Structure 1
Amino acid sequence: MAETFVYDIANSLLGKLASYVYEKASRAYGVYDDLNNFKDTLSIVSGLLLDAEEKKNQQQQHALREWLRQIQNICYDAEDILDRFDLQDKQKQVVIKSSGSIRLKVRGLISYSNNRFIFRDKMACKIKEIRERLDKVAADGTRFGLAMVSVGSELVVQRREMTHSHVDVLDVIGRENDKENIMKLLMQPHPQGDGDGNNSLSVIPLVGIGGLGKTTLAKLVFNDERVDQLFQVKMWVCVSNDFDIRQIIIKIVNSASDSTPTAAYSLQESINNLDIEQLQSRLRYKLSRQKYLLVLDDIWNDDRAKWLQLKDLLKGGATGSKIIVTTRTKSIASMMGDVPSYVLKGLSEENCLSLFVKWVFKEGEGEKYPNLIEIGKQIVKKCQGVPLAVRSLGSSLFSNFNVRKWEFVRDSEIWNLEQKQDDILPALKLSYDQMPSYLRHCFAYFSLYPKDYIFFGNSITNVWVALGLVESRNGNENLDNIAREYIDEFHSRSFFQDFVDDGHFVLFKVHDLVHDLALYIAKEECVLVQSHTRNIRKQVRHLSIVENDSLDPAVFSKSEQVRTILFPIIGMGLDSASILDTWVSRYKCLRLLDLSDSSMDTIPDSIAKLEYMRTLDLFNNRKIKRLPHSVCRLQNLQVLILAGCMELETLPKGLGKLISLRKLSITTKQSVLSQNEFESFKYLQNLGFYRCYNLKILFDGAQQLTFLETLAVESCGSLESLPLYCFPKLQTLYLKDCKMLDLSLNNENPIQKLKMKHLYLLEFPGLLKLPRWIADVVDTLETLVIANFPNLKMLPDCLATMTRLKRLRIRHCPQLLSLPNDIKRLTALEYLHIFSCPELCRKCMPQIGEYWPKIAHIKKIYIKTK
């Protein structure tokens, strides 16, 4: 597993070394040849890493692990060097900008030029040293018998064993209702045709996480006697990793054959030699005028063109033919399906226990061991309803009646238990291997959060961005938007539970078994610091402090390379200034420092030494009155969170020197902010003001934040105006509880130029109707949330013209009586949520409400009076 992780680190570094930005910087500082030679050697090492997972064996395990650790350390050190080039350039920009007169500018540039030569010599030495280290490690790699594989290749993906259609019904527990639901879908006619007038074929997707039992469910359906009566031909094809149309056709034709086994073998021999034209002809002949059921099991292909090519060849059957596909990926299911995906759920705890007993005991044997059954109830809770996990743990205890062994399995994390090839973690690793490198690189950092942690979108994406795992594809893209795409991709791969998409905001939990896989992958990189943690090893780079009852500076004495420090648990922060001093002095390469909910009076001036820092999160630090001005020397800082710092009297002077800042959230006692400072934030994309009770003016209209995409203003009771025309690229606006704010928002200015996608308006008790300017964003709005408007009586008619609107939430608007008459025209609307609006809820009640015919087309409807 470590091979994959190190390969992704090396691959990411190769991408940076090949970029135009670093090529330009290396030429400017005269180190291009050195860096290029390093890149060439790293390419060779990466090629060896591609072969490492296949070649490792038990005898080599320790030596290989040490070799991988050396490569990983070298990659991280090289990344620090590249970041140092970037920082040097930013410091030059600040020097030029902060020098007022021409004379001062010249003096600053001369001083910078002198430092530049010193910097060049220093970097040249560092690059030479790191190249020599890599050369040695590359030579050592030959000891493991590793072969060079092209870096353009991806990691070799462990293939899943090919499936077959046979199933012993007595071995399956808890899937009877699911089977009946699929049978109903098989009996239904095609919902609307496939777009070209051919209604003969319908595709039913089964989707869910690995090990959940999708294949088993498909087998139950395939072998049901009613299927034999419904369909003239049944075919089972395991597709797995390769979506090779030629091979799939051959498998379908072979499966469709009703010949004797000997004849079928001869047929297979003959069709293997046919070209694709002959094969498709044979396939269409086999299916011609036949009503058939085809199961395509274990689909990974996301190439729609390939799927449509195959589907076109399968349209020759009789009306009512069906295809069942099983896949782990929601986007693939959506691409292939003609009906909504059947999302398979986990088994109940009762069914899990029954399955566990079946795998762990011989028939009738469990009754003799009631004490073990009680332990088993706790063990199956770890499995989260996933049958393969139940089977894996049950098999590991088969005919073992030692209470200590059972308690060990109960008390251990699954990732710490021995795993056989067909157990749950290897099965889930298939999903991990299939991901693109950039997702694999991000995946491990889910291990920094405890199980059942509720992720609020940016909690994990802040980590990815701070660690440089998210890169703009053209140099101008919003990194948060790219990271959000990563979240959507993980969700599509069935890794999340309780996923709530509220437009700009998203909530979710990581499936427990997925969390186990993340721990397994990142176990030497990431550590959850708990009260029983006594020391942190030298190689650890990411710390997440989930219990701080007995934090001792001695715990951190061995670690030197930490890049991330998190306090993910709400209400738990740092209360020791001495420990913070230890971190600042020890961890020179820190990228992310999250001190949320901490209770310290000050931040040390020495924080300016953390030159690589990209994220400083001081959320809800209620004692801090001032920040050291030295914070403004952190030119790499991209994210600064000061929201909830209720005692913060003023922002530090020189904030405008933070030229890399992308995200800034503020709580301050100031009534006026320095406009000059904000003019310097050329790349600021996300800005928030929270409980700034004295703040009257944000901007006077003279400035424009041309990159700003997200603006949040909450509980700023003195704020009177908000000139939106200062933010020409604004996409998300969140306004809450600003009693003095005129929501007309200076409507005399050209607000209609905005291309807003997400609008949240909350707690405006005096408002009788929504502001007119909403009509100016009807062509772009995707999310509209209206909450706590006690006097709101009507929605604007323009709501019915929002053709891109996907989400509409209305909460606590008791006077609201109606929806726009033409709301049925909102064909893009996927989610309607109406809560605590008594009369409107009554009119929208499913089946019986007078508005139901107008909204019944919406996929997800949530109506609740209170």
Structure 2
Amino acid sequence: MAEAIAFDAAELLLRKLTSYAYQEVSRAYGVYKDLRVIKDTLTIVRCLLLDAEEKKNQQHALREWLRQTQNICSDAEDVLEGFDLQDKRKQVIKDSRSTSMKVRHFFSSSNPLAFRIKMARQIKDIRNRLDKVAYDGTRFGLATINVEPGLVVHRREMTYPDVDASSVIGRESDREEIIKLLMQPHPHGDDDGDKSMCVIPIVGIGGLGKTTLAKLVFNDKRVDQLFQLKMWACVSNDFDIRQIIIKIVNSASTSKFASTSASSVTFPHQENINNLDIVQLVSCLRSKISGQKFLLVLDDIWNDDRAKWTELKDLIKVGTVGSKMMVTTRSKSISSMMGTVPSYVLHGLSVENCLFLFVKSAFKEGEEEKFPNLVAIGKEIVKKCHGVPLAVKTLGSSLFSKFDLNKWKFVRDSEIWNLEQKKDDILPALKLSYDQMPSYLRHCFAYFSLYPKDFTFLAGDITSLWVALGLVQPRNGNENLENVAREYIDELHSRSFLLDFDDIGHFFNFKVHDLVHDLALYVAKEECVLVQSNTRNIPEQARHLSIFENDSLGHALFLKSKQVRTILFPIDRVGLDRDSLLDTWVSRYKYLRILDLSDSSMVTLPISIAKLEHLRVLNLTNNCKIKRLPHSICKLLNLQVLLLTGCMELETLPNGLGKLISLRQLFITTKQFVLPQNEFASFKHLHTLDFYRCDNLKFLFNGTRQLTFVETLSVQSCGSLESLSLYSFPKLQTLYLADCKMLTMSLNNESPIQRMPMRHLYLEEFPGLLTLPRWIVGIADTLETLVITKFPNLKMLPKCFTALTHLKRLDIRHCPQLSTLPNDIQRLTALEDLRIYRCRELCQKCRPQFGEYWPMIAHIKRISIGKQKLSH
């Protein structure tokens, strides 16, 4: 992925160089002209990078040129961060009003004069290196290409409707479901109230067989009886109205169902249709389909421009009632935009069907009977494919007529991304989706490779990483970066890259399809490295390390390069068990952005941790031996996320915590009885505050000042907590309260009830409550998510419940005494996701079709009662 990462690194750097803030600061430090020259040279190099993408396989030296370019961009980013860090030092000194601190600052290497000299020297070095790669790029014969790399993609071959139905495995039930939809009358019409045409989207990941399914349906004899005219048009990357019309007209002309009496107007032969202007083309189109009951398949849709889709739809609304369209796409958002009925989400094949298809691809007919040992290995190989037929065909075909046992074992034991791929194989097919992403998504996507397959991502696991690495860009200056990162997640989900996505409002979790994980490994290549017991060396180019096994932790293994930006321990109970190795990392990797020491066994952190001036994320989760943190940790002025969850022996937070002026998220487990509110009031960017098993806390803070910055507050298993004033958090949007046995749910807020801007409320394990607290009235105008879990004595929902007119998600679990819903629950018109689980009597009353409450909730878009899930 060198070319993509180099381009994205150049993009990020250019964005910084052109920002008003950097222009101002460069003038202040006398380096404006140098940075302007760097920006101009980098603009040229950025354009050369796109040509390098096309030519890198022909010229080996280009790969080294790409690496050098990437290194320069990364080094330049580190230099520019020096400006930010210097400003933060000034801010801390100003806020401290400490004379001694000002004197120390003057005599340190970061005083204004020393800083100016250091920066000038480093910027001159960057300028010289960048000039050299620009010169080398032109010497390689690279041309400047002024387009986004997302628009320079390898196009998929045009598809056609013909298919040998006997060769298609395991799609019989899917075909029947789609044909049922084609036979049904159009129930709703589109947004304009037009009922003449129904659009049925088929959506799924690349290689799943969407086009094959559409072909099966298109060629079914029952479909021939339903429609007077059948047409097929492969749209692919460009949603060019003119070209689509030509394809539809050509398909209509060659259809055996085309009516010869549809119009008396004559048009040029098919080979001359390209010469028609758009007016003639539209007239030709309408002549072909007007008055016909037709089926039109638009295969492989990528474009999400609603205006273009509306334009095309309006042109073909001339068929008779009952005309239908099928569209295939990898994008859920596109299928939602185009569909007039719920999308048909295509799933993978069964293991049995996968094995049947694999054997068919790997052997001549009957040949497999001679090689039962190979078939046994084949059973293990198909597990890697996770139901995706193109992956099965790719691996099966690669072994066709190869009977060497070792070759089969090699395919079984290798990651798919390490196997040779032809242009029509699975990884190139999936890479089409990757190529189509905007640049900000492509660079984020690669970091899924740092986590193991089948990993369950929770809210914040990867979004904090993206933010820390500077990959998330606000669309305006005040936008919350975590909210933008959540939008990135939603977009990846829409593109069918994520599995088992569970949206619970502020919180969410998901998995990544194994083949998508293979794609992430494929595009990340040497940039991201998984460190395991069999890892013998780490490439010099590696910037992000993910350690899967304790046995892999050896001093000799870790490279001496200063380029490392990330060290992760993503697997539970795998962590650092040697203080000496941490000392090595701190001294060697001074540009670290993310240091994950979760599940480690350290007693303390070294004082030298303060040398990691660029550190954004420090994760100490479940470090059960740590009693104190060094005060030097408060010098990490770039730190955005500090996780101390599960540090059960931590006696106190370090003094001076308020100096962490960049802190955005703080997760705390401590033995303290009370927290210094003045320290917390110093934070200007902290929006997430989490308390877990703080057993001695009776009150969160020892002051009355409001924490106007906090938007998300989580308090869990704090057994001594008696009081919590929500008025201390006037901007609170998300509240999670769980298992706080001494906490009265009045929260000191019952009188008078005031309005709060809360959007998401999660209440868990409060056995003493018989109903919900009265203060919920104060959030009626804004609440979107309500989750109630483990209320064993909850018997009814309050009368004010149906005042929650903005509620989108209602989740009720483990409330065995709750047996009724409000009679006017239909007033919750915004409700689109209802889940009721482990509430025996209530589940019975909400049973689909038969429960007494079913008529009141049947209109809700997504319903899950017990284990039964329903979607409209």
Contact 2:204 2:346 in 1 (8 A): yes
Q: 2:817 maps to what in 1?
A: 815
Which of 690, 693, 697 is equivalent to 2:692?
690
- The question of whether the paired residues in 1 share the 8 Å contact of 2:150 and 2:437 is answered with no
Quickly say closer, same or farther: Cα 1:169–1:143, change in 2 above 3 A: farther
Q: Which residue of structure 1 lines up, in the alignment, with residue 377 of structure 2? A: 375
Give the one of 618, 621, 633 matched to 2:620. 618
Alignment-derived partner of residue 789 in structure 1 = 791
Distance change (3 Å), C-alpha of 1:798 and 1:279: farther
Contact map agreement 1:824 1:854 (CA 8 A) in 2? yes
Evaluate the alpha carbon distance shift between residue 497 and residue 534 of structure 1 in structure 2; reply closer, same or farther with a 3 A threshold: same
* Cα distance, 1:799–1:283 mapped onto 2, change above 3 Å: farther
Report the Cα distance in structure 2 between the residues aligned to 1:617 and 1:824, rounded to whole angstroms.
Answer: 45
- Cα separation, partners in 2 of 1:417 and 1:259, compared to 1, 3 Å: closer
- Does the Cα contact within 8 Å between 1:537 and 1:558 map onto a contact in 2? no
Kept in 1: contact 2:150–2:435 (CA 8 A): no
Residue 143 of structure 1, CA deviation: 4.1
- Give 1:72's aligned residue: 70
What is the aligned partner in structure 2 of residue 55 from structure 1? Answer: 55
Distance 1:708 1:361 in 2: 62
1:680 positional shift = 0.4
Distance 1:258 1:87 in 2: 68
8 Å CA contact retained: 1:725, 1:751: no
Distance 1:841 1:57 in 2: 60
Q: How does 1:189-268 map to 2 (within 5 A)?
A: 189-258=185-254, 266-268=268-270
Count of matched residue pairs: 861
Deviates more, 1:801-810 or 1:297-306: 801-810
The amino acid of 1:791's aligned partner reads: N
TM-superposition CA deviations, 1:401-433 (whole Å, max 9, x none) = 111111111111110011111111111111001
1:457-479, CA deviations, whole angstroms, 9 ceiling, x for partnerless residues? 21111211111111222222111
Opposite residue 154 of structure 2, the aligned amino acid is: Q
2:11 alignment partner AA = N
Counterpart position of 2:141: 145
Q: Is the 8 A contact 1:566 1:594 kept in 2?
A: yes
- 2: CA distance, partners of 1:86 / 1:148: 32
1: CA distance, partners of 2:709 / 2:751: 19
Q: Distance in 2 between matches of 1:529 and 1:542?
A: 10
> In the alignment, which residue of structure 2 is the partner of 1:596?
598
Deviation at 1:827, TM superposition (A): 3.3
Q: Residue 699 of structure 1 contacts residue 723 of structure 1 at CA under 8 Å; is this kept in 2?
A: no
Letter in 2 for 1:832: L
- Bigger drift between 739-748 and 77-86 goes to 739-748
Q: Using the alignment, how far apart are the partners of 2:859 and 2:109 within structure 1?
A: 66
Alignment of 1:848-863 (within 5 A): 848-863=850-865
**Counterpart check, 1:17 vs 2:13:** no
Q: Distance in 1 between matches of 2:532 and 2:151?
A: 35
Report the CA distance between 1:110 and its aligned residue.
Answer: 6.5
Q: Distance in 1 between matches of 2:208 and 2:841?
A: 42
CA drift of 1:748 comes to 5.3
Residue 634 of structure 2 aligns to a residue in which SS?
helix
Q: Does residue 561 of structure 2 align to residue 565 of structure 1? A: no
Q: Which residue pairs with 1:504 in the alignment?
A: 506
Distance 1:70-1:694 versus aligned 2 partners, 3 A rule: same
Instruction: Tell me, yes or no, if the aligned pair for 2:56 and 2:63 is still in contact at 8 Å.
Output: no
**Letter of the structure 1 residue corresponding to residue 90 of structure 2:** K
Q: CA deviation at 1:106?
A: 7.6
Residues 181 and 859 of structure 1, relative CA distance in 2, 3 Å threshold: same
Single out whichever of 803-812 and 390-399 deviates more from structure 2. 803-812
- Per the alignment, residue 409 of structure 2 pairs with 407
Deviation, 1:715, is 1.1
Residue pairs, 1:696-735, within 5 angstroms: 696-699=698-701, 702-735=704-737
Worse-matched range after superposition: 121-130 or 554-563: 554-563
Q: How many angstroms apart in 2 are the aligned matches of 1:778 and 1:319?
A: 45
Kindly indicate whether the alpha-carbon contact (under 8 Å) linking 2:750 and 2:775 is maintained by their aligned counterparts in 1.
no
Q: Please tell me whether the aligned partners of residues 50 and 154 of structure 1 are also in contact (alpha carbons under 8 angstroms).
A: no
AA aligned opposite 1:134: L
| Cα drift, residue 801 of structure 1 | 3.2
Distance 1:751 1:241 in 2: 55
Q: 1:144 to 1:382 in 2, by over 3 A?
A: farther
Work out whether residues 203 and 346 of structure 2, in 8 Å CA contact, stay in contact via their aligned partners in 1. yes
* Greater CA drift, 821-830 or 90-99: 821-830
Amino acid at match of 2:135: A
| 1:532 paired residue number | 534
CA contact (8 A) 2:463 2:486 kept: yes
Instruction: Name the residue aligned to 1:130.
Output: 126
Alignment of 1:437-456 (within 5 A): 437-456=439-458
Q: Which residue of 1 aligns with 2:633?
A: 631
What are the equivalent positions in structure 2 for 1:747-786 lying under 5 Å apart? Answer: 747=749, 752-786=754-788
In 2: Cα distance, 1:830 partner to 1:557 partner: 51
1:749 deviates by 6.8
Structure 1 position 269, deviation (Å): 4.2
Shift of 1:793: 1.0
1:354 partnered with 2:356: yes
Matches within 5 A, 1:223-622: 223-258=219-254, 266-622=268-624
Once residues 226 and 593 of structure 2 are traced to their aligned partners in structure 1, the CA distance between those partners, rounded to angstroms, is: 61
For 2:529 and 2:552, locate their aligned partners in 1 and report how far apart those are by CA, in whole Å: 16
Percentage of pairs with the same residue: 73
SS at match of 1:523: helix
In 1, distance between residues paired with 2:792 and 2:255?
Answer: 73
How big is the alpha-carbon RMSD for the aligned residues of Structure 1 and Structure 2? 2.0
CA contact (8 A) 2:531 2:552 kept: no
Residues 265 and 376 (structure 1), Cα distance of their counterparts in 2 relative to 1, 3 Å cut: farther
Contact 2:203/2:345 (<8 A) preserved = yes
On the 8 A contact 1:42/1:134 being kept in 2, the answer is: yes
Query: Given that residues 105 and 111 in structure 2 are in contact (C-alpha distance below 8 angstroms), is that contact kept between their aligned partners in structure 1?
Result: no
Q: Structure 1: where are the runs of 5+ without partners?
A: none
Aligned equivalents of 2:108, 2:802: Cα separation in 1:
59
**1:353 partner SS:** helix
Given that 1:637 and 1:660 are in contact with CA atoms closer than 8 Å, whether structure 2 keeps it comes out as yes
| Alignment-derived partner of residue 263 in structure 2 | none
Contact 1:95–1:108, Cα closer than 8 Å, also in 2: no
Gaps of 5+ in 2: 261-265
Distance in structure 2 (CA, Å) of the matches to 1:701 and 1:765: 30
Specify the code of the residue in structure 2 equivalent to 1:482.
V
Task: Decide whether the 8 Å contact of 2:86 with 2:110 is kept in 1.
Answer: no
Amino acid at match of 1:480: E
Separation (CA, whole Å) in 2 of partners of 1:266 and 1:457: 59
Q: Is the 8 A contact 2:292 2:319 kept in 1?
A: yes
Distance across 2 between alignment mates of 1:775 and 1:267:
70
- What is the Cα deviation at residue 111 of structure 1? 6.5
Q: Is the 8 A contact 1:836 1:865 kept in 2?
A: no
Checking the alignment, whether the CA contact within 8 Å between 1:782 and 1:804 is kept in structure 2 is: yes
Is 2:676–2:701's contact at 8 Å kept on the other side of the alignment? no
Q: Give me the TM-score of the superposition, normalised by structure 2.
A: 0.96
